[in-house]
């Protein structure tokens, strides 16, 4: 076994690899960029080396600098994790040339499977079923259009060197092909250094099922069963589970054999994932097609670890040392069901825009482990860390293992309910909505589940205004009472020797002003009324109309704040942080989570309303391109600019007709959230 390895990655996967190495008494070396100097993966390793600036090109993609760090620290091998250099054949070869073991497949295997068109040809020769399509080397746009026309729409344009959901475009009509091809090639050249694409039939309502394979240097191959990764957003996986629901024993054996055949075809060594598109047939059967092979460990590998009881990173290390596979096929068995949820820094209710900022609160569920167990968290961040725009948006993975799928679903929903993230937007509540949707609960899975049911999954507020206001006010009073003295004239609870007093709270709930009045009665009782002229009472509101009122009672317990208001009872944990408008209280409960803002009316006195004509960056990132020039007339909805953040492209469109008055940045510039990108004059100026 190795004595020391370097982990050429960051975040949760670097921490994950370091944990297995620590268990096996293998010393580890971390590498880090400027922005990651205090990151969790740095402290998780025995030593660390600074390798460059903030962007991936300056640091985690700098193969030469990483190899130099490995040699300087005496590491014998490099584990690439996933992403960055993990599927880079040139880097794998450079490691070998430097006398280092690359913990992954041979450069030839990476190269054969890294180019999707070449891998399709290899798989066809190996007898693995393929999706109908064009996988040729001629990349003339006119030829590609003709091939797409011949296949029949809808078709999928896919970057040949792509991965991770980038470089993919679905084209529904012939007249959309040219623009979609250009967009796909632009993203592909930026992400992978190659704009080559392939064209395939777009399977309607497909499932995405992948098989974990392993090979060793002694000619042994196994598969560790399948994972269903159908629940996706923009081709990015959201929830993954193992085994795949509805999988028959015969189909599992057939897909497993095809996956092993794919690995044998390229003399594969180490961990790999063979991905299939599965199409439901009218007779209830399923047909599968080879999609691609990822020549690395996958983000979703923990669900396979959960159902097999194996540590796949340990398997990688042993195979890389020249050992035989720890188990043969007949020794591998499935136990229970596992589901993984990807927790991301993004705002689902605003088109999943990436979110950056400080993790002011980060609390994990009860009973969580950082290894195999009923509830597991793989994370590379800690409370207090700053999430930057330079890397992808995933904060952590929450993995549960149960006796069956229903048990796993219940555990995951409970674990998500107990996860508390404050300081930036996250997708935690969105994940709960997906879990609770009838389609997912009943395992009616396909890759279009989220876009098809978006109206049901987004903009849900199950914890409504009345309870949110009551929770905020109760938590405020608890904090004030903690500061009280025994002097009755210093009390802050509204007590009066006679009569009653009313205290006003100016609040904001989802952008709408709200007023709440708390009346203190002489007998110590409190009466709360919540008023809103604009907010319709949410689904769980105890009454309809513009006002909700009732007695307010609350008790602080070890489990949280128990609140009773308007015939409703809620147990909540509240976190209050400073906000640009005042104080922001985040309310977490078993039912749902929300936030409400207490507005400091004095600090905003005299502010003028926001002027129109400005277009600002919705998130921190890089300006990729402008689609207009100064002086151009534009129509509402027209594309004006393209930005990139956290490895994803985002389109900035005109909110109304107008005239481009000024471009304030150039392509390649980094901009902050809220930065003004360009100015538009009104439509009146266009017609004047």
CATH code for position 191: 3.30.1490.20
Specify the pLDDT at position 535.
46
pLDDT at 494 over 80: no
Residue 495: per-residue pLDDT: 58
CA 219, 222, 223: angle at the middle one, nearest 5? 150
The verdict on whether 372 is a catalytic residue reads no
Provide the pLDDT confidence category of residue 644 given band limits of 50, 70 and 90.
confident
Domain assignment present for 361: yes
Q: What is the pLDDT of residues 455-493, one digit of tens each?
A: 889 877 678 888 999 999 999 999 888 776 666 666 655
∠ CA 399-405-408, nearest 5°, is: 35
User: Among residues 565, 599, 633, which one ends one of the domains?
Assistant: 599
Yes or no: say if 471 and 555 are a contact pair by the CB < 8 Å rule.
no
The CATH number of whichever domain residue 351 belongs to comes to: 3.30.470.20
Residue 108 lies in a domain: no
Of residues 676 and 553, the one with the higher pLDDT is: 553
The confidence score (pLDDT) of residue 601 equals: 64
Whether residue 605 is contained in a domain is answered as no
CB 403 within 8 A of CB 307: no
For residue 492, the model assigns a pLDDT of 58
290 burial level (CB within 10 Å; 0-12, 13-18, 19+): buried
- Number of domains present in the structure of the chain: 5
Q: How far apart are CA 210 and CA 230, in angstroms?
A: 10
β partners of residue 563: 554, 570
Contacts of 78 (CB under 8 A, 6+ apart): 5, 6, 7, 8, 66, 67, 70, 95, 100, 101, 102, 103
What's the pLDDT score for residue 496?
Answer: 60
**Cα–Cα distance between 145 and 166 in angstroms, integer?**
21
Residues 409 and 526 grouped into a single domain: no
Least confident of 61-65, 254-258, 605-609: 605-609
Local confidence band at 430 (pLDDT 50, 70, 90 cut-offs): very high
Is residue 479 in a domain? yes
498 and 422 within one domain: no
Domain boundary among 422, 457, 492: 457
pLDDT higher than 90, residue 18: yes
Give the CATH number of the domain where residue 61 resides: 3.40.50.20
The answer to whether 542 touches 566, Cβ cutoff 8 Å, is yes
pLDDT of 220 = 98
486 and 428 in a common domain: no
Same domain as 419, residue 478: no
Does 515 map to a domain? yes
- Nearest Cα neighbor of 601 from 515, 517, 518 is 515
Rounded Cα distance, 467 and 599, in Å: 18
pLDDT at 465: 86
Q: pLDDT: is 686 or 362 the higher one?
A: 362
d(CA 114, CA 118): 8
Q: Is 229 helix (H, G, I), strand (E, B) or coil?
A: strand
Q: What angle do CA 670, 183, 206 make, to 5 degrees?
A: 115
Query: Does residue 514 lie in a domain region?
Result: yes
**Burial tier of 378 (Cβ tally within 10 Å: 0-12, 13-18, 19+):** buried
Q: Which of 615, 669, 625, 670 is nearest to 649 (CA)?
A: 625
**Which of 547, 567, 599 marks a domain boundary?**
599
Only one residue has tokens 């609960």, namely: 441
In the predicted structure, residue 129 carries a pLDDT above the cut 50: yes
For residue 493, give the CATH number of its domain: 3.30.700
pLDDT tens string 144-156:
999 999 999 999 9
Higher pLDDT, 85 or 599: 85
Q: How many other CB atoms sit within 10 Å of the CB of residue 425?
A: 21
Residue closest to 200 by CA, chosen among 291, 287, 294 = 291
For 64-165, where are the E strands, in sequence order? 77-79, 101-102, 133-134, 155-163
Report percent pLDDT > 70 for the chain. Answer: 91
Q: What is the mean pLDDT of the chain?
A: 89
pLDDT for the residue numbered 536: 43
Angle between helices 428-436 and 405-417 (to 10 degrees): 150
191 shares a domain with 219: no
Instruction: Check residue 610 and give its pLDDT.
Output: 40
pLDDT of residue 208: 96
In this prediction the pTM is: 0.82
Q: To the nearest whole percent, how much of the chain has pLDDT over 90?
A: 62
Task: Verify that 516 and 574 share a domain, yes or no.
Answer: yes
Beta bridge partners of 652: 641
Looking at the structure, tell me whether residues 343 and 426 fall in a common domain: yes
Q: What is the pLDDT of residues 437-455, one digit of tens each?
A: 999 999 999 999 999 998 8
Task: Name the catalytic one among 227, 233, 252, 296.
Answer: 296
The mean pLDDT value for 306-332 works out to: 98
CATH of the domain at 620: 2.40.50.100
Q: Are residues 349 and 225 in the same domain?
A: yes
- The string of pLDDT tens digits covering residues 221-247 is 999 999 999 999 888 899 999 999 999
Domain shared by 14 and 55, yes or no: yes
Distances (CA, A) of 489 to 497, 503, 520: 10, 17, 16
Residue span of the structural domain in which 647 resides: 614-687
Does 626 share its domain with 582?
no
State whether 226 and 307 are in the same domain.
yes
608 inside domain: no
Asked if residue 657 and residue 512 are part of one domain, the reply reads no
Which pLDDT does position 284 carry in this prediction?
Answer: 76
pLDDT tens column, 353-401: 889 899 999 999 987 766 566 899 999 999 999 999 889 899 999 999 9
């Amino acid at each position: 076994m190795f004595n020391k390895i370097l982990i050429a990655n960051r975040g949760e996967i670097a921490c994950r690899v370091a944990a297995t190495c620590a268990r096996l008494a293998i010393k580890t070396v971390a590498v880090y960029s400027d922005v990651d100097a205090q990151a969790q993966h740095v402290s998780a390793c025995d030593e660390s080396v600074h390798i460059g600036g903030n962007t991936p090109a300056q640091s985690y993609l700098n193969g030469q600098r990483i190899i130099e760090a490995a040699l300087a620290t005496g590491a014998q091998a490099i584990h690439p994790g996933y992403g960055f250099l993990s599927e880079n054949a040139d880097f794998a070869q450079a490691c070998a040339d430097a006398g280092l073991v690359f913990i992954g497949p041979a450069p030839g295997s990476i190269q054969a499977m890294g180019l999707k068109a070449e891998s399709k040809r290899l798989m066809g020769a190996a007898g693995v079923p393929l999706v109908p399509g064009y996988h040729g080397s001629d990349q003339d746009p006119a030829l590609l259009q003709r091939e797409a026309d011949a296949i029949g729409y809808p078709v999928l344009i896919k970057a040949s060197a792509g991965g991770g959901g980038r470089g993919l475009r679905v084209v529904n009509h012939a007249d959309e092909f040219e623009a979609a091809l250009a967009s796909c090639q632009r993203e592909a050249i930026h992400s992978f250094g190659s704009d080559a694409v392939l064209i395939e039939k777009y399977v309607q309502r497909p499932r995405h099922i992948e098989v974990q394979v392993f090979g060793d240097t002694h000619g042994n191959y196994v598969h560790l069963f399948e994972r269903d990764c159908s629940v996706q957003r923009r081709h990015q996986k959201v929830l993954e589970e193992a085994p795949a629901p509805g999988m028959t024993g015969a189909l599992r054996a057939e897909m497993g054999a095809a996956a092993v055949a794919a690995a044998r075809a390229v003399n594969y060594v180490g961990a790999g994932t063979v991905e299939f598109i599965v199409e439901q047939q009218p007779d209830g059967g399923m047909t599968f097609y080879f999609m691609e092979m990822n020549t690395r460990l996958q983000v979703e590998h923990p669900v396979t670890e959960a159902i097999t009881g194996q540590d796949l990173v340990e398997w990688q290390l042993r195979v890389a040392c020249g050992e035989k596979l720890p188990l043969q096929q007949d020794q591998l068995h499935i136990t229970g069901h596992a589901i993984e949820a990807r927790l991301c820094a993004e705002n689902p209710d605003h088109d999943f825009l990436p979110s950056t900022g400080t993790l002011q609160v980060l609390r994990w569920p009860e009973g969580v482990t950082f290894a195999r167990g009923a509830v597991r968290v793989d994370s590379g961040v800690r409370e207090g860390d700053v999430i930057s725009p330079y890397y992808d948006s995933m904060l952590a993975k929450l993995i549960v293992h149960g006796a069956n799928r229903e048990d796993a679903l219940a555990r995951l929903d409970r674990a998500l309910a107990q996860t508390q993230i404050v300081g930036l937007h996250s997708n935690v509540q969105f994940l709960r909505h997906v879990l609770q949707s009838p389609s997912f609960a009943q395992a009616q899975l396909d890759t279009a589940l989220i876009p098809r049911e978006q109206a049901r999954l987004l903009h849900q507020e199950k914890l409504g205004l009345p309870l949110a206001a009551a929770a905020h006010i109760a938590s405020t009073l608890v904090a004030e009472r903690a500061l009280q003295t025994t002097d009755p004239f210093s009390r802050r609870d509204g007590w009066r020797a006679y009569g009653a007093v009313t205290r006003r709270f100016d609040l904001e709930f989802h952008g709408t002003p709200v007023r709440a009045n708390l009346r203190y009665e002489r007998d110590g009782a409190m009466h709360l009324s919540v008023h809103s002229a604009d907010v319709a009472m949410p689904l769980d509101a105890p009454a309809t109309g513009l006002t909700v009122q009732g007695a307010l009672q609350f008790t602080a317990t070890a489990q949280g704040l128990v609140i009773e208001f308007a015939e409703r009872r809620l147990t909540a944990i509240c976190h209050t942080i400073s906000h640009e408008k005042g104080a922001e209280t985040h309310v977490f409960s078993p039912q749902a989570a929300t936030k409400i803002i207490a507005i400091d009316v004095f600090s905003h006195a005299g502010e003028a309303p926001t002027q129109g004509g400005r277009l600002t960056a919705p998130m921190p990132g890089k300006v990729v391109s402008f689609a207009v020039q100064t002086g151009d007339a534009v129509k509402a909805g027209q594309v004006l600019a393209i930005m990139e953040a956290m490895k994803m492209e985002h389109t900035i469109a005109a909110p109304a007709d107008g005239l481009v008055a000024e471009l304030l940045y150039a392509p390649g510039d980094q901009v902050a959230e809220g930065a003004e990108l360009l100015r538009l004059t009104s439509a009146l100026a266009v017609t004047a």
